[in-house]
Amino acid sequence: MAGIKVSTVVEAPAERVWELVGDFHGLGGWHPHLPVSRLGDGPAGNAIGSVRIFDLDGVELQETLLAYDEEARSYTYSFPDGTFHFDGYRATLRVAPVTELDAAFVEWSVTFDIEPEHRKESTDRVQGVFTSGLAALRERFTG
C-alpha cells in the first residue's frame, strides 16, 4: 500500500473553508484543473454512495463518496480499481482549525496499490492534482 499526503494552511476560519470544500460535488468549482462534475447514479449531495463524474479529456472519472463527517470536516471517496492504474484508491479531504491563527489546516491524502511500472507517472499526476488544488484554495482565501 502506498500513499500521498499534501497539506496547507489557509488564512480563513475552518468553518468558511469547509463551506466551500465540504460540498463533494463542488470540487470543480474551486479546483483550477478540474471541470465541474456531474451527478452519477446514486444519491445526490453529500450522501454516502453519491457519485461525481468528471470528463477529463475524453476520459470519464467516476468518484464515489464513501464517508462524510460534517462535524470532523472530512470526506473520503474512491474510484474504480484500474482507473489510472490504481487499485484500492481511497482519498480523504479534511479541514481542521488552526485556533491560534484563526486559520484552517487542509489535508488531502490518498492510499492505493499500484504496479511499480506505473507508480511514478500515476502518483506524480495525483500529487499534482492535490498540490495545485490546495494552492488554489489557499489563494482564494488570501486574495
Q: What is the pLDDT of residues 60-107, one digit of tens each?
A: 999 999 999 999 999 999 999 998 899 999 999 999 999 999 999 999
- Look at residue 51 and tell me whether its pLDDT is greater than 90: yes
In this prediction, residue 70 carries a pLDDT of: 97
In this prediction, residue 143 carries a pLDDT of: 64
pTM of the complete model: 0.94
Q: Read off the pLDDT band of 58 (50, 70, 90).
A: confident
Grid-cell match 489557509, residue found:
10
b/e for 24-38, b at 16 or more Cβ within 10 A? bbbbeeebeebeebe
Amino acid (one-letter) located at 31: H
Domain 2-142 classification at class level = alpha beta
Q: What percent of the chain has pLDDT over 70?
A: 99
